[in-house]
């Protein structure tokens, strides 16, 4: 895999074009990582089984050998397991055979005692996902939030055009618009931060049958639950041969939502750049077009959008596929599960590109202010609202006649106000309205979001 990254012959862009950005994720999503976790589960089970005193206790040498392999899973062990797999054509059984040869236990029958392959597999995958969530995903989402937080804080008072249905609408601030995305992302981050993976450890059809057949008086259900909890996973006692993957589906759904929020952000930033409300910093060494030298393209946001959409398509498929299995199990989930890292890595790339892109973006403050000042008709909303309060008959349609679909000047607004049949105090109130200052509670809303995110992250 590493060589393919160097010679450009990899099939997947995750290992080729994006190889330098994704290489460290091999720790979670590679075949080596899966075999390492499978071996870990088998060995930790051995140690837990030893404590039951159902078998003769391990010698000090045996315990030392077990812990050495557990604490230092060498690449050569992985190669040996794969060589065994070539002969017997079973990946989990290959781990068992390897451990029998490697550990040379007096009682090798303790290895994989009473288990089915899926007992080892489901725990191994969940441990890998948990490790990825803790070490990579949460810190990365925090980093995205921090970048959006900084923009929202910096721009919380920066006047900004707003559009509904693509048309000019009541003004806002750039910070408020960023705080919307920050708030949405924050809610999903909290879900992700407290997420717990589960596991099953109950045999071929989920009834602990093999374990109880050998030792019918031992409480294997309690043992199984405690073993799963020792791995910092939540026990799932009621399963077929496989875990239902409903918890995985919940996890993927959170990621899908995070991806979707950032796709929405990417598209809005792209549009604001197109409209000139945002501007993007240039790098003198970069090229925006092979024929048009002037261009600075929003490539980070476009790249992010593509990767996030691709991630979501895979994650949505995983949810549909992995939560269904024929009867007690079929093997079609196995090859799909090996692609979990593909879906998650595309999300990882997408988030990184959004982070890079946000660092290049600033508000074109002069353009925004001028644009709002040139749309005095935006005052139609506060004018008709104040006139409602003053009791004027049908103020909405009165101001609609003046403004709908028209470019309105300040003079035209003032003439309209002068001819209103209302008190002078109301007229004066209306004349004081300024389209640039018509931002309501945008700053306060933004600050409220900043405060709660900051408080949570500190805790």
Catalytic residues: 165, 289
Burial, 415: exposed, middle or buried (Cβ in 10 Å; 0-12, 13-18, 19+)? exposed
Q: Is the dihedral of CA 264, 265, 270, 274 positive or negative?
A: positive
The two structure tokens encoding residue 45: 């089970």
Q: Give the separation between CA 12 and CA 35, rounded to whole angstroms.
A: 22
Contact 22, 348 (CB under 8 A): yes
CA dihedral sign of residues 421, 425, 426, 428: positive
Q: How far is CA 424 from CA 180, 253, 410, 428, in A?
A: 39, 57, 18, 6
Chain centroid offset of residue 205 CA: 33
Whole-angstrom distance, CA of residue 93 vs CA of residue 85: 8
Q: How far is CA 291 from CA 294, 303, 406, in A?
A: 9, 21, 40
Cβ neighbours of residue 167 under 8 Å, at least 6 residues apart?
A: none
């Amino acid at each position: 895999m590493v060589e393919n990254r160097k010679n450009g012959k990899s099939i997947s862009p995750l290992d080729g074009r994006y190889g330098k950005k994704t290489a460290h994720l091999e720790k979670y999503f590679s075949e080596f990582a899966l075999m390492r976790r499978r071996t870990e589960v088998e060995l930790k089970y051995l140690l837990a089984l030893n404590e039951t005193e159902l078998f003769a206790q391990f010698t000090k040498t045996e315990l030392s050998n077990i812990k050495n392999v557990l604490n230092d899973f060498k690449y050569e062990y992985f190669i040996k397991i794969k060589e065994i797999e070539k002969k017997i054509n079973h990946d989990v059984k290959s781990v068992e055979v390897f451990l029998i040869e490697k550990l040379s236990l007096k009682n090798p029958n303790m290895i994989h005692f009473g288990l089915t392959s899926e007992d080892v597999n489901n725990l191994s995958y969940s441990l890998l996902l948990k490790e990825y969530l803790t070490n990579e995903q949460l810190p990365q989402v925090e980093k995205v939030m921090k970048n959006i937080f900084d923009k929202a804080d910096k721009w919380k008072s920066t006047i900004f055009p707003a559009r509904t249905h693509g048309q000019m609408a009541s003004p806002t601030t750039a910070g408020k618009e960023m705080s919307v995305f920050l708030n949405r992302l924050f809610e999903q981050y909290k879900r992700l931060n407290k997420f717990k993976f589960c596991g099953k450890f109950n045999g071929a059809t989920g009834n602990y049958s093999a374990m109880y057949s050998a030792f019918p008086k031992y409480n294997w259900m309690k043992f199984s639950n405690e073993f799963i909890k020792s791995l910092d996973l939540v026990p799932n006692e009621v399963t077929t041969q496989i875990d239902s993957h409903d918890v995985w589906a919940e996890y993927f759904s959170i990621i899908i939502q995070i991806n979707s929020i950032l796709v929405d952000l990417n598209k809005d930033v792209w549009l604001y750049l197109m409209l000139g409300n945002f501007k993007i910093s240039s790098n003198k060494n970069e090229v925006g077009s092979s024929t048009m030298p002037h261009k600075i393209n929003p490539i980070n946001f476009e790249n992010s959008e593509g990767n996030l959409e691709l991630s979501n398509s895979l994650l949505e498929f995983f949810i549909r596929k992995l939560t269904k299995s024929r009867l007690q199990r079929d093997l079609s989930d196995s090859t799909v599960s090996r692609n979990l890292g593909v879906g998650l890595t595309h999300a990882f790339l997408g988030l990184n590109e959004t982070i890079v892109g946000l660092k290049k973006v600033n508000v074109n403050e002069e353009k925004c202010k001028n644009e709002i000042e040139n749309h005095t008709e935006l005052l139609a909303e506060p004018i008709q609202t104040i006139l409602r309060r003053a009791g004027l008959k049908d103020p909405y349609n009165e101001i609609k006649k003046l403004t709908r679909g028209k470019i309105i000047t300040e003079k035209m607004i003032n003439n309209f106000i002068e001819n209103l049949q209302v008190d002078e105090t109301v007229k004066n109130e209306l004349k004081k309205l300024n389209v640039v200052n018509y931002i309501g509670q945008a700053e306060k809303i933004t600050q409220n979001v900043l405060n709660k995110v900051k408080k949570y992250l500190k805790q």
